[in-house]
Amino acid sequence: MKVLFVNSSPHKNGNTSIALNEVAHQLKHNGIESEILHVGVKPIRSCIACGQCRAKALQRCVFNDDICNSITEKMSESAAFIIGTPVYYGQPTGAALSLLQRLFFSAGHLFQNKPAAAVTVCRRGGATAAFQTLNIAFQMMNMPVVTSQYWNIVYGCESGQASLDCEGMQTMRTLADNMAFLLKKIHAGGSPQYPQREEWQPLNFIR
């Protein structure tokens, strides 16, 4: 079992990295592997609703010039997903939102049923709004949202200050413990045991 992390901060070794690494370290303590992908500072495309990923049955985004399809490939071998983001104007980074929308639309089958969590890092405020924004997407994908002792929020302004947030670091470790517990339950029989789903019955309000 492996948990795939995405660090959507432009700063590779900033406070978001500190928070995610605390989760990864505690997962290792629980016998769970992890991999952290850093989005970096290169442009991330937004979904343009072209539909080519589905029309051509690509099972990936038609655009292959950023990290999106690399995440798709790694998610096929991952049992769970965690995304971390700094908070900009009370929201996740644009990269985080663009990636989730393209990943879930083009390769949603790789995320269905797999446990997920969001981690938000801020100087002072806006973390809960960003946290809720990311969790909404998980719920639409039938992904069990892994909880902690509090919302998955860490505080820090200057690089490195997140490590001084003792409650935030404990929240990250508790998140990891809960993620490991759930994964071990799901994979107790060797292969994952997921619920049977009804066939989707979409209803548009304008007919």
Residue 155 · residue 121 · CB < 8 Å: yes
CATH assignment of 2-186? 3.40.50.360
- The letter for the amino acid at 127 is A
Percent of the chain with pLDDT over 90: 97
Domain ranges of the chain: 2-186
Spatial distance between the Cα atoms of 106 and 123, rounded to a whole number of angstroms: 34
Q: What is the 3-state secondary structure (H, E, C) of the chain?
A: CEEEEEECCCCCCCHHHHHHHHHHHHHHHCCCEEEEEECCCCCCCCCCCCCHHHHCCCCCCCCCCCCHHHHHHHHCCCCEEEEEEECECCECCHHHHHHHHHHHHHHHHHCCCCCEEEEEEECCCCHHHHHHHHHHHHHHCCCCECCCCCCCEEECCCCCHHHHCHHHHHHHHHHHHHHHHHHHHHCCCCCCCCCCCCCCCCCCCCC
- The letter for the amino acid at 194 is Y
Mean pLDDT of the chain: 97
Spatial distance between the Cα atoms of 69 and 52, rounded to a whole number of angstroms: 14
Length of the chain counted residue by residue? 207
Percent of the chain with pLDDT over 70: 100
Q: Which residues of 75-111 are buried (b: 16+ CB within 10 A; e: fewer)?
A: beebbbbbbbbbbeeebbbebbbbbbebbbebbbebb
Residue 178 · residue 148 · CB < 8 Å: yes
Q: Model confidence over 51-87: pLDDT tens digits?
A: 999 999 999 999 999 999 999 999 999 999 999 999 9
Spatial distance between the Cα atoms of 33 and 26, rounded to a whole number of angstroms: 10
Tokens of residue 148, six digits: 């902690």
pTM (whole model) above 0.85:
yes
Q: Model confidence over 146-156: pLDDT tens digits?
A: 999 999 999 99
Query: According to the model, what pLDDT value does residue 207 have?
Result: 74
Q: Model confidence over 1-56: pLDDT tens digits?
A: 999 999 999 999 999 999 999 999 999 999 999 999 999 999 999 999 999 999 99
